[in-house]
Amino acid sequence: MVQLSVDLIMIANMSSGLKIARLFGIDIRINWSWIVIFVLVTWDLAVGVFPLLHPDWNFALRWGLGLAASLLFFGSVLAHELAHSLVAKSRGLNVSEITLFLFGGVSNLEEEPPTAETEFLMAVVGPLTSIVLGFLFIGLAGASAGTFASLTGNLESLAGLGPLATLFVWLGPINIILGLFNLLPGFPLDGGRVFRSFLWAITGNLQQATKYASWVGQGFGWLFIFMGVSMVFGVNFPFFGTGIFSGLWLAFIGWFLIEIAREGYEQVMIEDVLKNTTVAVMMKTDIPSVGPETTVETLVHEHILGTEQRAWPVVTNQHLAGLVCLDDVRKISKDDWPRVTVNEIMTPLSQLRTVSPQKKASEALKIIASEDINQLPVLDQGKFLGLISRRDILLWLQVHSKDQQELREPKE
């Protein structure tokens, strides 16, 4: 059973994050959840790992090195995602941004890869980058320590390492683990995308390949949840260990994998349903509009009351001046309604996202989802034609999606 929801499409369309840089024409953003894991990693290193290895280190050294390790680790995650994105760009795909968040990072591709070969190359290069970086850091650790023997020794020998060697000896294995974990054949992990590329090449059907890869991804998610719960109750798994915190964390990762595996399949289904549909087919043209000099009182009594419409185009000579919504009205005191005009409270055209009638409906959906808005004005050479809304697209998907057994009720 598949459920579609615009609110859950493209989990990582996490473009609500803070932009921190722009590399190779790609915006680099951090999601708020990234701050949480960044603080946790720094804390764990400064309070748990480094004091265990080097009890003689002072406060400033432990926290300074913990901060440096966290920054270099997430720099490594960024390199992993950049590898995906640069391969995608070299194959003619547009990558608008990379977002770092709780579980690592995600590259925001504006469309699915055109071929199985492109999918394979894009997917495999990320884990390979992490693994190469891991061995590079291990090499730097050995060079800093003056010998590789100490890197494979016991806790006492590791305690003899200096700050740089300690930093690199932590970064090496963690990057290799990151690369190997991403190679698990569970969609949408990179290994799952590699698996999907093989299925795609065999079946010639991206949607079918995604369905099977998504099932495998959800299987890994349920396995992690089972292992995590078992660890909470004392079961010790090789490599994963045991304990309440580790178990809950693994179960949380499992839940996350299940959700994004489902959403990955939903996204492909939506793309398939909407791929040949333009905004012109879905938009509503019989949208009541108001003039810029209309008072808020007139807007409320003659337009808002008695209708379910939530936004009104402000139009002059068939050209859109802005959009006024219920939220705009709520900001105005009722006593001021008779004298305040729509022109004073509307969102002007310069601040609105708009689409043309020739635009693909899937692209309009991405804008609505990423901007967290309910509708988009449709303009043709500046002339206002109508609105396309979140509800319009969801209703279309309800009617035209063949694989649907149950759909979430559209929300305006």
pLDDT band at 102 (very low <50, low <70, confident <90, very high): low
In this structure, are 339 and 218 located in the same domain? no
pLDDT band at 92 (very low <50, low <70, confident <90, very high): confident
DSSP string of 179-216, one letter each residue: HHHHTSS-TTSHHHHHHHHHHHHHHS-HHHHHHHHHHH
pLDDT band at 327 (very low <50, low <70, confident <90, very high): confident
Q: Structural domain tally of the chain?
A: 2
Assess whether pLDDT exceeds 80 at residue 372: no
Mean pLDDT in residue range 186-193: 84
| pLDDT tens digits, one per residue of 13-57 | 444 567 888 888 888 888 887 888 888 889 988 988 888 888 888
Which pLDDT belongs to residue 270? 77
Which pLDDT belongs to residue 402? 58
More confident residue, 118 or 408: 118
| Residue 408 included in any domain | no
| Residue 406 included in any domain | no
> Which residue in 219, 47, 193 sits closest to 120, CA to CA?
193
Domain boundary among the residues 274, 303, 337 is at 274
In this structure, are 154 and 199 located in the same domain? yes
| Residue 265 included in any domain | yes
Q: To the nearest whole number, what is the mean pLDDT of the chain? A: 81
In this structure, are 316 and 237 located in the same domain? no
Q: How many residues does the chain have?
A: 412
In this structure, are 246 and 349 located in the same domain? no
Which pLDDT belongs to residue 158? 65
- Is 252:224 a contact under the CB 8 Å cutoff? no
Region of 32 (left: φ > 0; alpha: ψ -120 to 50; beta: rest) is alpha
- Is 347:373 a contact under the CB 8 Å cutoff? no
In this structure, are 344 and 267 located in the same domain? no
| Residue 185 included in any domain | yes
Domain boundary among the residues 253, 274, 295 is at 274
| Residue 254 included in any domain | yes
**Domain CATH number, residue 310:** 3.10.580.10
pLDDT band at 128 (very low <50, low <70, confident <90, very high): very high
Assess whether pLDDT exceeds 70 at residue 129: yes
Give the predicted TM-score (pTM) of the model. Answer: 0.70
Mean pLDDT in residue range 76-104: 85
Assess whether pLDDT exceeds 80 at residue 148: no
In this structure, are 348 and 291 located in the same domain? yes
Which pLDDT belongs to residue 202? 93
Which stretch of 64-78, 154-168, 173-187, 191-205 has the lowest confidence by average pLDDT?
A: 154-168
Assess whether pLDDT exceeds 70 at residue 146: no
In this structure, are 265 and 335 located in the same domain? no
| Residue 1 included in any domain | no
In this structure, are 218 and 318 located in the same domain? no
Mean pLDDT in residue range 72-98: 89
Domain boundary among the residues 274, 289, 322 is at 274
| Residue 409 included in any domain | no
Cα dihedral 130/133/139/145 (nearest 10): -90
In this structure, are 13 and 142 located in the same domain? yes
Assess whether pLDDT exceeds 90 at residue 63: yes
In this structure, are 220 and 93 located in the same domain? yes
Give the Cβ contact number of residue 263 at 10 Å.
Answer: 20
Mean pLDDT in residue range 280-306: 85
**Integer Cα distance of 323 and 35 in angstroms:** 35
| Residue 295 included in any domain | yes
Q: Is the dihedral of CA 76, 77, 80, 83 positive or negative?
A: negative
**Residue 260's domain spans which residues?**
6-274
pLDDT band at 127 (very low <50, low <70, confident <90, very high): very high
Assess whether pLDDT exceeds 80 at residue 107: no
| pLDDT tens digits, one per residue of 193-247 | 899 999 999 998 888 888 888 899 899 889 999 999 999 998 888 877 788 888 8
Report the percentage of the chain scoring pLDDT > 70.
Answer: 88
- Is 243:237 a contact under the CB 8 Å cutoff? no
> Which residue in 190, 169, 166 sits closest to 179, CA to CA?
190
In this structure, are 205 and 96 located in the same domain? yes
In this structure, are 118 and 10 located in the same domain? yes
Question: Which DSSP category does 28 fall into?
Answer: E
Kindly report the CA angle at 125 between 119 and 130, in degrees rounded to 5?
145
